[in-house]
Chain A
């Protein structure tokens, strides 16, 4: 039923001259873990996201397997052992931009998105501060936030505990096009 609504909505939107959705297919999300022993970073360049300017709602979705690590063995461990991407293939955020902004008006806006993040099958409330730069039909969103591994039940074994930080810094840059 829900899918039907989406399909209908998309059809209606297709006929709308001034769409109010901003969409992104190739957003970038990276994370960084820093410990005295090892720095680990990974980048996902295939992040999908939509902002609906009609009600300021936002959704972000990415495949966990699309995170690219310089060390491929680490990438395998990340998928196989920590994020269990066979069981939990995607990481998502859904929420609402708290500030009242009109993205069609070019400018730079400080925004706060309030919602929930789902990682490793665990959903937690989250508040993300970011910046939106609008050029009218193109907007780009940048933000940084921290993820605590225990909040998402990501277990790090004792033997590699010292190599992986308990709090991971996540950075994101997503360029949207008006649909």
Chain B
């Protein structure tokens, strides 16, 4: 008698395995290369027990003169940051920016992961920025900032990050944002600022990708002009750059009209415009360290 299993050749066995495998959930990997686009955050978190060290650097404006400022390269603003993965979907981080001598603390939690069942990755992000400038300093807008107590120095920010990896090359993200300044520079400013961010990346090669991000601030500039008699001093932030990956590092080189590298600064305090070539050249460098023990050793 011929047994049925004699009919099952190698290819049939492989088909059976593939059918078993198709029942499992497939999660989308690496929607973005890094935890941040350029200034703002991506949906990506880092793996458990992994530490990222960020060095972010912005030179002066390109239009600040060759003799005076060597096209901006004479001056630099930096932010140093650390972020750590508490789990594969939850990270905490902190940083210190030159601008307004600001400390920032943040956390990011991945709620949904894109898979063959869920179309998007959704991450929630919250941050606190603490300004430690001496009171009575002047802002880029010309206004003087005075603080009477420490509570006034705090800025809170909340974001929902929703991203989809459309193809292996193209990923897009949308990020509704709310930012709350405990103290604003004048009575004409609202303590709450709403903004809608858009970001994306396109992989040019396996190790090089193009990325861009834009934040559209929802501000009634006409009303601001009517009440205060001056035009609204801040602009929407737009940045474009390249991500280059070399082993354990990610290098991000970019041009942006924002000098700041945390939400408070780049969303609510961008004064430069692309039209005036108030463009800042900058780079971010991330180094990842793993504290996951190698089980075989």
Contact = CB atoms under 8 A, between A and B. Distances in A.
Q: Which of B13, B246, B294 has the most A CB atoms < 10 Å from its CB?
A: B13
B5 A54 contact: yes
Interface in B21-52: 21, 24, 26-27, 29-30, 46-47, 50
Q: Which of B8, B46, B293 has the most A CB atoms < 10 Å from its CB?
A: B8
Interface residues of A, number: 53
A12 to B, nearest CB: 4
B247 A50 contact: no
B248 A73 contact: yes
Interface stretch (A80-88, A101-109, A132-140, A144-152): A80-88
Interface string A56-78: 01111101010000111100110
B20 interface: yes
Given A6-B16, A160-B247, A13 B292 contact: no
A72 B49 CA distance: 10
Contacts of A86: 29, 168
A72 B3 contact: no
Contacts of B247: 77, 159-160, 163
Contacts of A58: 10, 13
Range of interface residues on chain B? 35 or more
Nearest to A72: B47
Nearest to B248: A73
Contacts of A65: 26-27, 29
* Shortest 7 CB-CB contacts between residues of A and residues of B: A72-B47, A59-B13, A94-B10, A61-B17, A86-B168, A12-B4, A54-B5
29 contacts: A2-B12, A2-B15, A3-B19, A6-B12, A6-B15, A6-B19, A13-B5, A16-B4, A20-B3, A25-B20, A41-B294, A53-B5, A55-B6, A58-B13, A59-B16, A59-B17, A71-B288, A72-B50, A73-B248, A73-B290, A77-B247, A80-B30, A81-B206, A81-B207, A94-B10, A94-B11, A115-B10, A157-B207, A160-B247
